[in-house]
């Protein structure tokens, strides 16, 4: 627990908690924030491969891909900064807004932050679907990005806090499950709208994002805020009442005391971001940043954003490209369910390590296949080869979907103590979106220069991240969220050196200097 005092509250084990309908419903509603994020991730690849969209907004790409087919190298035909900016601007706005979101998550609560996200999303959808020129398109993407910044800040924290610890992993992964459903939904929509003759299919694709946007907004109106957040904002009685309701028992005193204590420590922090860089917070912040960089350098978004474009590059026809993207999208959803089932049983480390092997091998095979078959100007990827590439991409996507995808969001949201949770989550989201932006902005150019070698580049990263997990990633399964410091970081062979003494010292100084008695808050 963060700071002693009520360590026995959890009895070193779990608190009494039933799996109540209100917890499940709240989580399902909150997780629709993931749906929106996923839809935005998935929709851009599809619309940017639709000729009418290119013709209207990116005429030079249109010329290269449709009119002058075959003149440019296969690997380079989509290499256009403007086009990449359409995809990437969302992430730029997202990473900036996350710092505001950190403030609102802490001061206004998780629920209101989700509501703000919903409003941004609705605004973004309106601009995008009605876009008359590139400027409107980009403004829409920027608003959506703000929505992502706020939603990805609040939703994972909300889920981790409201869940009983024994199913925290599974409930938190509902966020990622929604991300994958959002991507799949976008892929399916693109597949359908591409067939619309009038050339306005892309508008429908962008406009249908309104569905998840409205769902999140309604969800945020209905859910209750987490007890952690209520207590953090001084609403102790309300926090306790909510705790009783969500845990389905009146015996919540031990957990309540632990939350009050965590909140007391959090109150003493006047500068959350400055606090974050203190030595004792080093383990969580390093792990969170590393997780985000690694998650993006698996290369997943090269596939998620640009699958249709990539398959087009490999010589698939437009329809086949979108169709293949639907297949990878479906694999993504199903494999996420595997992780919901197993994360609280086999644990986080096991999933990450198994997936590391699977991702490494599949990427190397993809690189070899493309290296042999896709030369700069050929268009002769035979059917057999094409199917093999899609199968390999699916093997890669499935491994990501039960490991780095969900765990990249789960682990940071559950390892920070309350005092740094909002700030920590905001750095997490920011780094995630920064590197998502880097991939979105650079992938098509990288593909143009590295060609098939791009997959070797990503596989090298997979190797590095797996080694990182072996040595530096502790297991967090089944540990109550406010006990991570004691039971995870202080026990870890490497990370414990950052926590031990300074923590005890700081605590003593804080208590002596303000003569504070935690029980006085009750």
Binding site for ligand BGC (CB under 6 A): 41, 176, 179-180, 183, 295, 300-301, 304, 332, 405, 408-409, 432, 436
Cα–Cα–Cα angle for 85, 396, 209, nearest 5°?
A: 45
How far is it, in rounded angstroms, from Cα 396 to Cα 310?
A: 15
Which residue in this structure is represented by tokens 């399902």? 28
Closer of 179 and 309 to ligand BGC (Cβ): 179
Closer of 17 and 407 to ligand BGC (Cβ): 407
* Tokens standing for residue 103: 């403030």
Closer of 356 and 408 to ligand BGC (Cβ): 408
Burial class (CB in 10 A: 0-12, 13-18, 19+), 13: exposed
Cβ 374 vs Cβ 381: under 8 Å: yes
Give the nearest distance from C-beta 114 to ligand BGC in angstroms: 18
Give the nearest distance from C-beta 175 to ligand BGC in angstroms: 9
Cα–Cα–Cα angle for 233, 238, 242, nearest 5°?
A: 110
Q: Where do the H-state alpha helices sit in 451-483?
A: 453-472
Q: How distant is the alpha carbon of residue 229 from its chain centre?
A: 21
Closer of 332 and 476 to ligand BGC (Cβ): 332
How far is it, in rounded angstroms, from Cα 488 to Cα 495?
A: 9
Give the nearest distance from C-beta 295 to ligand BGC in angstroms: 6
Closer of 432 and 466 to ligand BGC (Cβ): 432
Closer of 226 and 295 to ligand BGC (Cβ): 295
Give backbone dihedrals phi and psi of 382, rounded to 5 degrees, phi first.
Answer: -70, 165
Give the nearest distance from C-beta 401 to ligand BGC in angstroms: 6
Closer of 243 and 392 to ligand BGC (Cβ): 392
Give the nearest distance from C-beta 405 to ligand BGC in angstroms: 4
Find, among 424, 420, 425, 412, the residue nearest to 503 by Cα. Answer: 420
Phi/psi region, residue 229 (left: phi>0; alpha: psi -120 to 50; beta: rest), is: alpha
Give the nearest distance from C-beta 156 to ligand BGC in angstroms: 10
Which residue in this structure is represented by tokens 């949201």? 413
How far is it, in rounded angstroms, from Cα 339 to Cα 444?
A: 30
Give the nearest distance from C-beta 44 to ligand BGC in angstroms: 11
* Tokens standing for residue 322: 């979108």
How far is it, in rounded angstroms, from Cα 480 to Cα 487?
A: 9
* Tokens standing for residue 286: 């390093």
Closer of 409 and 458 to ligand BGC (Cβ): 409
Strand ranges (E), 348-447: none
Closer of 142 and 304 to ligand BGC (Cβ): 304
CB atoms within 10 A of CB 515: 7
Closer of 23 and 304 to ligand BGC (Cβ): 304
Give the nearest distance from C-beta 39 to ligand BGC in angstroms: 11
How far is it, in rounded angstroms, from Cα 394 to Cα 294?
A: 19
How far is it, in rounded angstroms, from Cα 170 to Cα 162?
A: 12
Cβ 485 vs Cβ 1: under 8 Å: yes
Give the nearest distance from C-beta 176 to ligand BGC in angstroms: 5
How far is it, in rounded angstroms, from Cα 173 to Cα 156?
A: 8
Give the nearest distance from C-beta 284 to ligand BGC in angstroms: 19
* Tokens standing for residue 285: 């912040």
How far is it, in rounded angstroms, from Cα 501 to Cα 497?
A: 8
Give the nearest distance from C-beta 124 to ligand BGC in angstroms: 18
Closer of 65 and 466 to ligand BGC (Cβ): 466
* Tokens standing for residue 210: 């309104």
């Amino acid at each position: 627990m963060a700071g002693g005092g009520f360590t026995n509250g959890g009895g070193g084990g779990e608190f009494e908690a039933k799996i109540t309908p209100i917890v499940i419903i709240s989580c399902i509603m909150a997780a629709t924030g993931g749906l929106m994020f996923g839809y935005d991730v998935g929709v851009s690849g599809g619309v940017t491969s639709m000729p009418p969209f290119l013709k209207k907004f990116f005429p030079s790409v249109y010329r290269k891909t449709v009119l002058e087919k075959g003149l440019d190298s296969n690997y380079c035909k989509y290499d256009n900064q403007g086009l990449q900016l359409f995809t990437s601007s969302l992430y730029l706005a997202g990473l900036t807004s996350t710092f505001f979101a950190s403030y609102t998550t802490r001061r206004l609560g998780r629920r209101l932050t989700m509501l703000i996200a919903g409003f941004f999303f609705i605004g973004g959808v309106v601009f995008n679907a009605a876009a008359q020129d590139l400027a409107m398109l980009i403004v829409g993407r920027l608003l959506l990005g703000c929505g992502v910044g706020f939603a990805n800040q609040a939703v994972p924290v909300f889920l981790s806090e409201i869940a009983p610890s024994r199913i925290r992993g599974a409930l938190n992964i509902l966020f990622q499950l929604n991300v994958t459903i959002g991507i799949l939904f976008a892929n399916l929509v693109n597949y359908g709208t591409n067939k619309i003759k009038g050339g306005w299919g892309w508008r429908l694709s962008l406009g249908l994002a309104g569905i998840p946007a409205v769902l999140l907004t309604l969800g945020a109106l209905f859910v209750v805020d987490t007890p952690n957040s209520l207590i953090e904002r001084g609403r102790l009685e309300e926090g306790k009442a909510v705790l009783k309701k969500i845990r389905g028992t009146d015996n919540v005193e031990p957990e309540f005391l632990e939350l009050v204590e965590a909140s007391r420590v959090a109150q003493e922090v006047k500068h959350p971001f400055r606090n974050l860089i203190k030595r004792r917070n080093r383990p969580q912040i390093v792990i969170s940043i590393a997780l985000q960089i690694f998650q993006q350098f698996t290369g997943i978004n090269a596939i998620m954003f640009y699958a249709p474009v990539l398959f087009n590059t490999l010589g698939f026809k437009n329809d086949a490209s979108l169709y293949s993207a639907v297949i990878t999208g479906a694999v993504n959803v199903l494999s996420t369910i595997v992780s919901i089932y197993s994360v609280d049983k086999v644990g986080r480390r096991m999933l990450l390590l198994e997936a590391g092997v699977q991702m490494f091998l599949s990427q190397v095979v993809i690189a070899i296949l493309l290296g042999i078959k896709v030369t700069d100007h050929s268009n002769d990827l035979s059917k057999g080869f094409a199917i093999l590439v899609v199968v390999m991409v699916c093997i890669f996507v499935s491994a990501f979907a039960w490991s780095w995808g969900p765990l990249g969001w789960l682990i940071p949201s559950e390892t920070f103590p309350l005092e740094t949770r909002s700030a920590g989550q905001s750095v997490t989201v920011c780094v995630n979106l920064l590197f998502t932006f880097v991939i979105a902005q650079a992938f098509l150019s990288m593909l143009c220069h590295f060609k098939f070698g791009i997959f070797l580049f990503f596989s090298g990263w997979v190797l590095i991240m797996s080694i990182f997990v072996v040595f530096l990633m502790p297991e967090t399964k089944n540990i109550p969220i406010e006990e991570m410091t004691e039971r995870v970081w202080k026990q870890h062979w490497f990370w414990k050196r950052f926590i031990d003494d300074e923590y005890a010292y700081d605590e003593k100084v804080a208590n002596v200097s303000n003569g504070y008695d935690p029980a006085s808050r009750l």
